[in-house]
Amino acid sequence: MGRSTYTFDVLVVGAGHAGTEAALAAARAGASVALLTSNLDTVAQMSCNPAIGGVAKGQLVREIDALGGAMGRAIDAAGIQFRMLNVRKGPAMHGPRAQADKRAYQQEVKRVVESQPGLALRQETVEDLLTESRRGERRARGVRVRGDAEYLAPCVVLTTGTFLQAVMHTGEQTTPGGRAGEGTTAGISEALRRLGFVVSRFKTGTPPRLNGRTIDYDRAERQPGDDTPRPFSFLRDRLEVEQIPCWTVHTNESVHALIRENLHRAPMYSGQIRSSGPRYCPSIEDKVVRFAEKARHQLFLEPEGRRTHEVYVNGLSTSLPRDVQDAVIQRIPALERAQIVRYGYAVEYDYCPPDQLWPWLETKRIRGLFFAGQLNGTTGYEEAGAQGLVAGINAALRLRDAPPLVLGRDQAYIGVMIDDLVTRGVDEPYRMFTSRAEHRMVLRHDNADRRLTPLGRRLGLVDEPRGRILEEKVGRIEETLSRIRSTRIGQSTLEEILRRPESTWETLVAMFPPLAEVPDPVLEQVVHDVKYAGYVFRQRQQVDRMARLAERSIPPDLDYDAIPHLRSEAREKLGRIRPLSLAQASRISGITPADLAVLLLRLEGRRPRPSPANDEP
């Protein structure tokens, strides 16, 4: 018998949150897709916290949904508690978040994947990458899997999560694997290095899980969901769901003293782990050391589902030994009798620094090879899913030599994230924050469909029913805006009244009762459009200025070494990242206005005059 060979348009390696969105996007765009995973029972597994969304992360999920992705629909189907975060702040800071029944979420995404036409889900372990030289460039050809079989395709999307040469740490004990109970993959890392990619190491962590029946909830603070839960998907106006409360407790000085006494047994402090971890989501060991002045740290007790008593202790990520974890839990009020059912651990894994990618997530080194998710140095389900969607659609576009999808920083949080990754690189696992988005007033979670669904329709990512829903919503918004602009109360229009800081929609309804019929998703958009029109106008002016800079494109093969008076650091960084416009070049760390001036003169065909600002130090 010869080697088995299977042929597709697109191969997606890894079926986590990045892989499922990548495979679904490519298939929706018309490609024949194989989604390869080493375990069919862990498709879209929630390896860490059982939740979707949050501040900035919720915006990513709504953008994924606006482009036809699965994450928003899945959490709406599997959510057990829904909350809107930062509601006391302005709308740009609002972030939807939902606790999930993690098993129900995983099964819902798997069902969506299995139901997608043109998508084949296969249990396979990929051991090598196949490439070929054609027309003077290296191209993707497929993958080799365990069992002496090959999958061939001109486009391959790698979404390997934390499984590349992964090692789990619990105290002094180390175990190969990228997730508790699962193994690791070495062949892909070796293949990437053989192909010339830079491969580095990061670490992440997870907290212990508890038996909920052993928790004294009378000594914890109840944290309920919103009275009116908001759906993530734009396909739904409301949710009817029985919500389950979460709970909060706190560490104390006794816990902190115990941790300090055992730091020599913590892999991050013993030297056992040398790679960087996420600064914004530190382990409890890091919190005790870095914030020594704090007498306590808040912990969230989050149920992992409706049909399990397992509880996730958010805020207690740790790699301390098992006996120390037992003692830590027993010193926390409400948890003195709590039983750990899964111990926390840290995991080290390989990733590829993302400045090796074009802004559409295709590798610069190999045509047709795309990276998405934690392989690019990010963390979080939402960041992974957003990258997967972009990589998947661009793989499908590559098949027909169509222009790639590159979302601008003014179009989507997805665009901000990918631009950050490919332009600035990472020195720690990347997480999305609202502070990263300079146009966040425009990029609200509530208007993601208006921003992105028309684009999704043009690319084949969005079906007609979703398009009609948006058209009806936009029509209602325009109709309502017209109504409040033309209706006067005394000397003022309703629009002018709504613009006043003290006015709310209820103020308008009291003056003009027919407005009570306007549905929530419509009135929310109308209120934000009116109240923040001035801010949005100023941000649009900034967008226009950057657009003029972005219009000055840079050839991807420009020889920076041949540009006189360009500093050595600028030559190195520009040559490595290869920005496609002056706007992107301006965002590279260490590139100065003087460097941009020299580059602009070169693009205009003029030679710069030597000046002290351009001289080497």
pLDDT of residue 129: 97
Least confident of 21-35, 104-118, 591-605: 591-605
pLDDT of residue 280: 65
- Evaluate if residue 609 carries a pLDDT over 70: no
pLDDT digits (tens, 9 = 90+) for 130-144: 999 988 899 999 999
pLDDT digits (tens, 9 = 90+) for 361-393: 999 999 999 999 999 999 999 999 999 999 999
For the chain, give every domain's residue range: 4-206+349-458, 209-345, 463-531, 551-614
pLDDT digits (tens, 9 = 90+) for 503-545: 999 999 999 999 999 998 899 999 999 998 888 888 777 777 7
Least confident of 119-128, 309-318, 456-465, 593-602: 593-602
pLDDT of residue 131: 97
Confidence band of 614 (pLDDT split at 50, 70, 90): very low
Q: In which element (H, E) is residue 384 found? A: helix 381-399
pLDDT of residue 607: 54
What the block records as the tokens of 298 is 């808040």
- Evaluate if residue 612 carries a pLDDT over 90: no
The DSSP result for 24-63, as a single string, is HHHHHTT--EEEEES-GGGTT---S-SEEE-TTHHHHHHH
The mean predicted confidence, pLDDT, of the chain is 92
More confident residue, 464 or 165: 464
How are strands ordered across the β-sheet holding 119-123? 119-123, 33-37, 10-13, 155-158, 369-371
Is the domain defined by 4-206+349-458 classed in CATH 3.50.50.60? Answer: yes
**399-414 as b/e: b if 16+ CB within 10 A:** beeeeebbbbbbbbbb
Name the β-bridge partners of 581.
Answer: 553
Q: Give the position of tokens 């009806």.
A: 472
Confidence band of 305 (pLDDT split at 50, 70, 90): very high
**Which of 27-41, 164-178, 590-604 shows the highest mean pLDDT?**
27-41
End-to-end CA distance of the chain: give it in Å, rounded.
Answer: 66
Query: Topology of domain 551-614, per CATH?
Result: DNA polymerase; domain 1 (1.10.150)
pLDDT digits (tens, 9 = 90+) for 335-354: 999 999 999 998 899 999 99
**Which of 69-83, 437-451, 545-559 shows the highest mean pLDDT?**
69-83
pLDDT of residue 611: 42
The CA distances from residue 285 to 80, 159, 190, 324, 340, in Å, are 30, 30, 33, 11, 18
Options 1.10.287.610, 2.40.30.260, 3.40.50.300, 2.40.30.170; CATH for 209-345 is 2.40.30.260
pLDDT of residue 8: 98
Nearest to 158 by CA among 143, 179, 176, 177: 143
Confidence band of 1 (pLDDT split at 50, 70, 90): low
Rounded to an integer, the average pLDDT of 426-437 is 91
Least confident of 146-160, 250-264, 435-449: 435-449
The structural architecture, per CATH, of the domain 463-531 is Orthogonal Bundle (1.10)
- Evaluate if residue 548 carries a pLDDT over 90: no
Strand-pair category, 10-13 with 33-37: parallel
Q: Torsions phi, psi of 84, nearest 5?
A: -100, 120
pLDDT of residue 537: 80
Residues 421 and 484: their CA atoms lie apart, in Å, by: 43
Nearest to 160 by CA among 425, 377, 346, 399: 377
